[in-house]
Structure 1
Amino acid sequence: MKTSIIILTYNKLDYTIQCIESIRLYTSPGTYEIIIVDNNSTDGTRDWLEQQDDVISILNENNMGFPRGCNQGIDIASGTNILLLNNDVIVTENWLDNMLNCLYSSNKVGAVSCVTNSCTYLQEIPVDYTDLESMQAFASQYNSKSNPSAWEERLKLIGFCMLIKKSVVDQIGLLDEVFSPGNYEDDDYSTRIRMAGYKLLLCRDTFIHHYGSTSFKENRRYFDLLNRNKKKFIDKWGFNPNKAFYFNPDMVELIDMPIDAEFKLLEVNCGCGGTLLKIKEKFMNSKLYGIEINENAANLSAMVAKRVQADLHFNLSCPEQSFDYIIISDSLQRFYDPNQIVSTMKRYLTPKGKLLMSVPNVMHHSVIKGLLDGEWTYGEYGAMDIDNLRFFTLKEIYKMLLENGYSNLSIIGQNNGTFANPEWVHNLSGVIDKELIPQLDAFQYLVSASNNELGTVIDEIRVASELSIDCLTKLDDFHFDEIFNNIQLVVGADEEALQLLNKIGSWYFEKGDYKRVLPFFQKGLEINSTDTDTLYNVSYFLMFIGETEIATNYIRQLHEVDQNAFNDLLMVLADFKKDAQNV
């Protein structure tokens, strides 16, 4: 079996020489052919190629672009595999053998790629080498053996190193030259391979070095080219690949289940199914569902998960309480009424289900600084995504979830690698609350919220006239801060919240769960430090558990506030002391 390695060149002879020499050194002789298509280099590349006996060269008189050049190479290739390889790559030990093992692991695999030090779409891994010698030592260990557990299915593969079965190329055709001179042709080709029924796998057991876009980076019109070819992709496929191919591995880490667990999960606005693909890879027994309005993207996500239909109000074509998890990843801000979406999704969660979200932070320093500089720059990501209809701060996320009856809230700020300038933060600290300063570095928030009906339980306690062990048992699963936040939402007024705090604290005392008593009384004193009932309760409780010195301070305060209550307490404490002596 022979692999045709097709490399395009346009100047950068030094990179080409390193690339070819590494292929010769680290690839078994007789298993490959090298085809170089040169797009009219002027730096001596053509003269050097003519001297290479083991290289098949196509010397173009004009720059034909990447897709057209690759097609020229494919046209004359004699191998059973086609490998599209950038010339700014240095290959490594076992590189091709490992990828071939992956490519031929199943008839369903159409193309594979590898990881590197410089690449987009999370094909990059961290490295610590400082020169090519240490790079090869790193790669030798990394590529030491083929490892099927390190193969990862992907929606697309980046074209710097893409190994494809020739039979697949014959079936789907050549690269689409509409994407000349380059960019998004690999997105397009990946999509065509998957639409033909094949899988794309990333070999995380294989590493090669990539200098990274040495030609395009020097082109001042690079970003214009990106936008132009992105539009061509959208015109052809009907969706934005930057968003539809997006996947969020952090969402996978929020799923608190054993890897062999059976559960049902729904993703809202799932795109082409990238995140669902990651979930399926980790949780093989999971049953996955997706909502995607864009029909073209939905056709691709249907290869990963079952499609769920939703009407304009997001009523779903499935029974309520169907899902253990619902994911809204980086799309809540694109809804006209996010509050309604969060509320509606709650109906479709199981009683112990969880809502998982990633939400961009409009308080990120880049947004605040832009506003203070008089700028409002739209992009494709984060709080300034051009498709955003709503904007969120940490406080607003908490408020929305609590008002809709979610609990066990975990909201973690994530940084995108940029931090606010300390001097700028110092100047700003005189304007905003110091407690808000850390929020400036949160690019987005990862959210996990449970469907436990804490608000309903609190409302039940509020109207109950007698001790309810059942209600208190339901509260046991929640942290005090969550309980108090929900008390505020349920009752609103401080006076009623104060009564409820005393009620719950007293009930826990009667139940004998002493460790949960004091926070309720303390919070009550924060609301009103002179409230008679709270001072009475906290004084008695502290005396009961033997904290006499602390209790005495509260008793003195009670004496100042209400003489009658003070006298009553003394009588009760006297009886309590007699009982204790009798025991």
Structure 2
Amino acid sequence: MKTSIIILTFNQLHYTKLCIDSIRKYTEKDTYEIIVVDNHSTDETVQWLKNQEDIKTILNKENLGFPKGCNQGIKIAQGDNILLLNNDVIVTPNWLSNLNKCLYSSDDIGAVGAVTNYCSNYQTIKGAYKNTEEMIDFAKKNNLSNKDEWEERLKLIGFCMLIKKNVLEKVGTLDEIFSPGNFEDDDYSFRIRKAGYKLMLCKDVFIYHFGSISFNENRNKFSEIFTVNKKKFEEKWGFSTSYYSDIQVDLINLIDHFQFEKINVLEIGCGFGSTLLQIKNVYKNAGLYGIELNKKTLEITRAFADIQCIDIEKEDPPYAEEFFDYILLGNTLEHLYDPLNVLKNIRKYLKKEGKILMSISNVIHYNIIRNLLNGDWRPVHHFLKTPIRFFTINEIDTMLKTAKYSIEIVTGKITQQHEDDKQFINSLNQIIGKDMTSQYKYCEYYIKSKKFESASGENTEIKFLLRRIENDILVEESITCLIEMLHKCKLDLYTIMKLIDVAIIKKEKVFNQLAAQLYKKSMYEYANVLLAKSYEMNPQHMETQKLLKCMEGEHPC
């Protein structure tokens, strides 16, 4: 199998040499061809390319831009795959073989991408290195092929995108309306997904990216091109990729289920489902549901989630009551005319232990107050372009209590403060006569809340069953009942563990008995979690040690 690596150049010979030298060094021979399309370089690039016997070249007499140049390279490519690669990267050991392993792991995967040090779209990972040699050492450790490090994505950044040739033949080449560059990779990603293929991000492939070398020389021109192509993209697709593609990572981090458990998640205002898809990457057994007003996004989202195009303020969603473990409202409440009524109405769709996860911009962030005092309204958070409602944490708390929720966790995003910011906050505190720093510092809140009655009802029954197990009363019957509740997703492991901690004295005994029965029912992941908790509490417990040996195959069960 051969990969056609297509690289565009425009001056910057130093970076081109680093890129191509790294390809030669870290890519298996006879598995690739290099095609360089030069967009009328005026330095020594053209002469250097002419002296490279292993490179196919196309030398343009004018700068045609990135999409047109790539399409030229694609036309002469003879490989089974097409790899679009920026010239300002250094590839690393195992990079191409790992990308290919993911690309051909499934027929429905159309393209894959790598992670790097400099990139948007959550494709960046941090690494501790000070020079190229240390970076290569970092990459060697990272680039160990591992399918658990593959994530499905809605789009991939085009600095390194590997595409199956047959997918490209079906989807077509890059759209040249985006020349000289910007948004052509967004457009191509959505075209691939619209054709029914998945996009995968390979976190087991790290390559180094210097970043935006071609555009750095003229930032004003870059800004103009970005604005023009952003408008072209929105006219073509009917939505803004920047508005709809944000992954609400901080809300995902508030989910407290174990990754192997079955959960149902609804996101209201889901865009084209970036957050839902990332939840699926982490929680493989999650059922994904979404509500979105913009119909244009549905052709992208419906491939992996059940999306309803309804107005949540005017229509009741078609879900069974007590169906969802989590309902997400990511920067949604600010755009509702009656957010309190929506919170009241969706409450019935939450399970008894279900949670509302929301992100809400803070209207009294110090930068907003300062801008208002200067006669300007500039929201800190980019989602607040057309807000209808504004919130402080006190107003959020009051609204949730009125809708019969209680706040479990409040975190938030804090902007970096300089000395003049701290002085301004101190001045505000002096004016109002109390310390409000904790509220001024957050530009956005992340909140987890639950129903008021979550602690009663079903929890009482679970505590009763756990206490019967603890006291050797109808143990088998009680465990069977709990396991049945787990199977039917009426109960989750996190809740069981939390209740054992609160209500049970002989904790190790109950953990071990449950673990043993779950193991017999082939619910190994559940059993391992409970047994690990028991071992953590008391490593010397005889029954725990016996069960551990049993599960490791060293002792008959």
Partner of 1:3: 3
Aligned residue runs from structure 1 range 127-142, under 5 A: 127-142=127-142
Partner of 2:264: 264
Instruction: Tell whether the 8 Å contact from 1:142 to 1:206 is kept in structure 2 after alignment.
Output: yes
CA distance in 2, matches of 1:306, 1:300: 12
**Deviation, structure 1 residue 108:** 1.0
1:499-535 deviation digits (Å, cap 9, x = unpaired): xxxxxxxxxxxxxxxxxxxxxxxxxxxxxxxxxxxxx
Unaligned runs of 5+ in 1: 458-469, 474-583
- Higher Cα radius of gyration: 1
Segment of structure 1 superposing worse, 149-158 or 322-331: 322-331
Instruction: Tell whether the 8 Å contact from 1:67 to 1:180 is kept in structure 2 after alignment.
Output: yes
1:319-371 deviation digits (Å, cap 9, x = unpaired): 33332211111222122222222222213222322111111222223322222
- The residue type equivalent to 2:346 in the other structure is M
Change (3 A) 1:454 1:155: closer
Matched, 1:242 2:242: yes
Aligned residue runs from structure 1 range 387-536, under 5 A: 387-417=386-416, 421-453=421-453
Partner of 2:375: 374
Partner of 2:115: 115
CA distance in 1, matches of 2:326, 2:454: 18
Unaligned runs of 5+ in 2: 464-557
1:266-316 deviation digits (Å, cap 9, x = unpaired): 110111111111111222222221111111212221112112353452421
Equivalent position SS for 2:371: helix
Change (3 A) 1:186 1:352: same
Partner of 2:157: 158
Partner of 1:323: 324
Instruction: Tell whether the 8 Å contact from 1:406 to 1:454 is kept in structure 2 after alignment.
Output: no
Partner of 2:190: 191
Instruction: Tell whether the 8 Å contact from 2:363 to 2:392 is kept in structure 1 after alignment.
Output: yes
How high is the TM-score relative to the length of structure 1? 0.75
Partner of 2:532: none
**Deviation, structure 1 residue 417:** 4.9
Matched, 1:334 2:332: no
**Deviation, structure 1 residue 215:** 1.6
- How many equivalent pairs are there? 457
Change (3 A) 1:221 1:396: farther
Instruction: Tell whether the 8 Å contact from 2:270 to 2:291 is kept in structure 1 after alignment.
Output: yes
Instruction: Tell whether the 8 Å contact from 1:379 to 1:386 is kept in structure 2 after alignment.
Output: no
Equivalent position SS for 2:341: helix
CA distance in 2, matches of 1:122, 1:434: 39
**Runs of 4+ more than 6 Å apart:** 454-457
Aligned residue runs from structure 1 range 7-22, under 5 A: 7-22=7-22
CA distance in 1, matches of 2:88, 2:186: 20
CA distance in 2, matches of 1:158, 1:172: 17
CA distance in 1, matches of 2:202, 2:417: 30
- The residue type equivalent to 2:325 in the other structure is D
CA distance in 1, matches of 2:454, 2:290: 28
- The residue type equivalent to 2:30 in the other structure is G
Instruction: Tell whether the 8 Å contact from 1:267 to 1:291 is kept in structure 2 after alignment.
Output: yes
**Deviation, structure 1 residue 416:** 4.6
Equivalent position SS for 1:387: coil
**Deviation, structure 1 residue 93:** 0.8
Instruction: Tell whether the 8 Å contact from 1:290 to 1:307 is kept in structure 2 after alignment.
Output: yes
CA distance in 1, matches of 2:433, 2:206: 47
Partner of 2:528: none
CA distance in 2, matches of 1:218, 1:364: 35
CA distance in 2, matches of 1:441, 1:103: 44
Instruction: Tell whether the 8 Å contact from 2:265 to 2:289 is kept in structure 1 after alignment.
Output: yes
Cα root mean square deviation, aligned = 2.2
1:66-99 deviation digits (Å, cap 9, x = unpaired): 1111101101111111000011101111111111
Segment of structure 1 superposing worse, 331-340 or 203-212: 331-340
CA distance in 2, matches of 1:308, 1:391: 27
Instruction: Tell whether the 8 Å contact from 2:353 to 2:454 is kept in structure 1 after alignment.
Output: no
CA distance in 1, matches of 2:124, 2:434: 37
CA distance in 2, matches of 1:115, 1:433: 49
**Deviation, structure 1 residue 398:** 1.0
Higher relative contact order (CA 8 A, sep 6+): 2
% identical equivalent positions: 47
Change (3 A) 1:52 1:400: same
CA distance in 2, matches of 1:428, 1:408: 27
- The residue type equivalent to 2:280 in the other structure is K
CA distance in 1, matches of 2:257, 2:295: 31
Partner of 1:182: 181
1:458-489 deviation digits (Å, cap 9, x = unpaired): xxxxxxxxxxxx9xx9xxxxxxxxxxxxxxxx
CA distance in 2, matches of 1:377, 1:217: 27
Instruction: Tell whether the 8 Å contact from 2:7 to 2:34 is kept in structure 1 after alignment.
Output: yes
Change (3 A) 1:38 1:309: closer
Equivalent position SS for 2:34: strand
**Deviation, structure 1 residue 60:** 0.9
**Deviation, structure 1 residue 7:** 0.7
**Deviation, structure 1 residue 455:** 13
CA distance in 2, matches of 1:55, 1:343: 64
Partner of 1:147: 146
CA distance in 2, matches of 1:315, 1:48: 66
**Deviation, structure 1 residue 380:** 7.1
Instruction: Tell whether the 8 Å contact from 1:2 to 1:30 is kept in structure 2 after alignment.
Output: yes
CA distance in 2, matches of 1:432, 1:130: 48
Instruction: Tell whether the 8 Å contact from 1:407 to 1:453 is kept in structure 2 after alignment.
Output: no
